[in-house]
């Protein structure tokens, strides 16, 4: 079963995100415009929010930071990431627990 905010591929999982920087806490707070909405505390300055997002997602999913690649949306709130993993279904289950 697939949803509009994620896509399972042979190489891993593609996730469409809507990022809210400078939030009061880090959390996944639901679906917004067919994207997984994530609030992060980092400011959107000089790529710091992207670096912070990468580190935070890796920690939450218990994977390496280098397994997460920003595919698009480097300067905007709408982002697409590729998370390389042998079992992308496990990643989907982990993300859905926060919804």
- Cβ atoms within 10 A of the Cβ of 49, count? 21
pTM of the model: 0.93
Q: What is the per-residue pLDDT for 3?
A: 72
Q: What is the per-residue pLDDT for 41?
A: 98
CATH number for the domain that contains residue 29: 3.30.1200.10
Q: What residues make up the domain containing 48?
A: 6-97
> Is residue 1 domain-resident?
no
Residues in the chain: 99
> Is residue 23 domain-resident?
yes
Residue range 26-79, pLDDT digits in tens: 999 999 999 999 999 999 999 999 999 999 999 999 999 999 999 999 999 999
Domain total in the chain:
1
> Is residue 71 domain-resident?
yes
Q: By C-alpha distance, which of 51, 53, 58, 50 is closest to 91? A: 58
> Is residue 72 domain-resident?
yes
């Amino acid at each position: 079963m697939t949803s509009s905010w994620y896509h399972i591929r042979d190489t891993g999982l593609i996730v469409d995100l809507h990022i809210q920087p400078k939030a009061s806490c880090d959390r996944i707070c639901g679906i917004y415009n067919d994207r997984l909405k994530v609030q992060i505390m980092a400011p959107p300055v000089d790529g710091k929010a992207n670096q912070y997002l990468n580190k935070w997602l890796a920690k939450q999913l218990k994977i390496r930071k280098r397994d997460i690649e920003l595919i698009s949306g480097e300067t905007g709130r709408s982002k697409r990431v590729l998370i390389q993993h042998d079992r992308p279904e496990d990643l989907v289950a982990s993300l859905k627990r926060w919804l």
